[in-house]
Structure 1
Amino acid sequence: MLSIDNMVHPAEREKSEHRREQIVRAALALLAEAPLSELSTRRIAGAVGISQPALFRHFRSREAILVEVIATARADLGHVVTRIVSTPSAPHARLGALADALVGYVTENPGLPRLLFANVAAGDSPLLSALRQLHSMQLSLVAELVREGQRDGTFDPTVEPRDAATLFVGFLQALTSSRRLEERDEPLVEQGRRLFALWLKSVMAAHPSKPANVHAEVRREGLQSVDARPLLARGVDPLDSVLAAVQAVGPGGVVKLQVPFRPTPLLSLLGSRGHAVSAEQVNGKLWVVEIVHGGAPAPEDLRELEAPEPLERVLLACARLPRGRVYLARVPRVPRLLFPHLEERGLQYAVYEEQDGTALLRVFKP
């Protein structure tokens, strides 16, 4: 259906998006020069070269601009994280690269620490939620890289990963905060590397060992759904919840993740670990990510077949399924008529209904 919104010319929409980006970048630049209390919409508009009413056509308030500043920083750092986790290297090398990248980003955007350390929000404001989300993203990623180091035997297994992550993020925050209080000619990144070396000593194993299996036995659930939207709304990064679900479903298991944006760093991290990942945008506010633990099996697509062929194809595939193996299929709808047949054959199954009414079926032969 046509509306005023979807009749906007693409060039006009692109111009509007460009103006929004200009406003956000101007606000970030001004934060490097003046306290947050002096940052007004009038001043931001002046820096961009537009009137204050023109600015309000893009953002309704100063807080809305600051929320977008944090979202932009999160997106920028997301690209950095994607590059780091996509590069095959040891966990300590990835952490060193992450520390360098974070210090480099703050050096290029000196206004960001002023926003992070200011008493900018109270209660459950959107700005505080955005700040919490940015902070949580860093904590979750560092904690997971510490766990990787523990699994490969280079990091002390007695170290609590979340504590190590808190210390990691804390020394970076202290570094940028102290630089505002003292005059030093030394590049920030050089001091950051020395502090990282001290942090690394605190988590390294005294005697590196062979990779250990630090995972306890868990009950394999086969298929799980994780809705990250409530977590993100509270400013909590969903990485820990997603990784826990991936571990819980086990090899051949599937995790369906609902998020409000394409989680590019997460896709890269999971892909680097051998999992098959795909992301589909359902609408402007929802992406559904599919994660197949271990990368196999690939789902058989039966959605275009007329009944009863999908049921017959599933039963035929399951008849050939070796013990201990998994079969995945995309079917036109939740196959309730199929369930009694699977139960008669002693097969375990789980199903996930997609937004469009189709379904993903997982069958396991014990």
Structure 2
Amino acid sequence: MAGKIVVLDVREMLKKKEEPFQKIMVTVGELEEEDVFELHATFKPDPLIRVLGKQGFSSAVVEEGPEHFIVQFYKEETDIPYFHLDNRELDPPAPMVRTLEFLDGHEACQSGELGVEIWNVRVPALLLPELEERNYTFDVSDEGSGTVRVKIRRPR
């Protein structure tokens, strides 16, 4: 079953020249197996990506703006990185709108370099034909207990 997305924003710490590594590692140590760790930083943290990679974490990176990088770390090996969106708390049509805005807003998704995995409470019946029309492929997995995982990507 899909876990939760654990968010840690260290941008203010970095701007104050503080070292966030200890706080990051404590957060990582508290993750459950299915959780996704989402780090917000002022730069792409390549050394951290390598350190956590050696601990079995895959990662996905998006640049949201100047000095705002979002890196997600998760325990699943995939051929391309997948950015996770937890839509389970949103009411329709927000899950579909959020998913399409993310796909449209990131060149890496459009080029097939980055996939998106959404967590919904039900199969997104209206989203799936829209994805097909936009030339995305998807894999739907209903895990029960109110979690449907949909992996979305555009073939390269």
TM-score by length of structure 1 reads: 0.24
Q: How does 1:107-146 map to 2 (within 5 A)?
A: none
Matched, 1:309 2:134: no
Counterpart mapping for 1:70-219 below 5 A: none
The structure whose residues are more often helix, as a share, is: 1
Q: Is 1:295 matched with 2:76?
A: yes
Preserved contact between residue 299 and residue 328 of structure 1 (Cα < 8 Å): no
Residue 318 (str. 1) matches residue 100 (str. 2)? no
Aligned residue for 1:18?
none
Deviation, structure 1 residue 282 = 1.3
> Out of 235, 238, 241, which is 2:23 matched to?
241
| Alpha-carbon offset, residue 223 of structure 1 | 2.2
Q: Who is 1:266 aligned against? A: 48
Per-residue Cα deviation, 1:135-182 (whole angstroms, up to 9, x for no partner) = xxxxxxxxxxxxxxxxxxxxxxxxxxxxxxxxxxxxxxxxxxxxxxxx
Is the Cα contact below 8 Å between 2:11 and 2:40 reproduced in 1?
yes
| 1:171-224 Cα shifts (integer Å, max 9, x gaps) | xxxxxxxxxxxxxxxxxxxxxxxxxxxxxxxxxxxxxxxxxxxxxxxxxx8321
Q: Which runs of 5 or more residues in structure 1 are unaligned? A: 1-220, 332-366
Q: In 2, Cα distance between the equivalents of 1:291 and 1:228? A: 15
How far residue 235 of structure 1 moved from its aligned partner, in angstroms, is: 2.1
Structure exhibiting the larger radius of gyration computed from Cα positions: 1
Q: Percent identity over the alignment?
A: 16
Residue equivalent to 1:149: none
SS of structure 1 residue aligned to 2:8: strand
Alpha-carbon shift at residue 269 of structure 1 (Å): 0.7
For these two proteins, the number of residue pairs brought into alignment is: 104
Could you tell me the TM-score, scaled by structure 2's length?
Answer: 0.51
Q: Per residue, is there more strand in 1 or in 2?
A: 2
Unaligned runs of 5+ in 2: 86-95, 104-123, 129-137
Residue aligning to 2:33: 251
Partner Cα separation in structure 2 for residue 328 and residue 230 of structure 1? 33
Q: 2:68 aligns with which of 251, 264, 286?
A: 286
Secondary structure in structure 2 of the residue aligned to 1:252: coil
**Residue 266 of structure 1: SS of its match in structure 2?**
helix
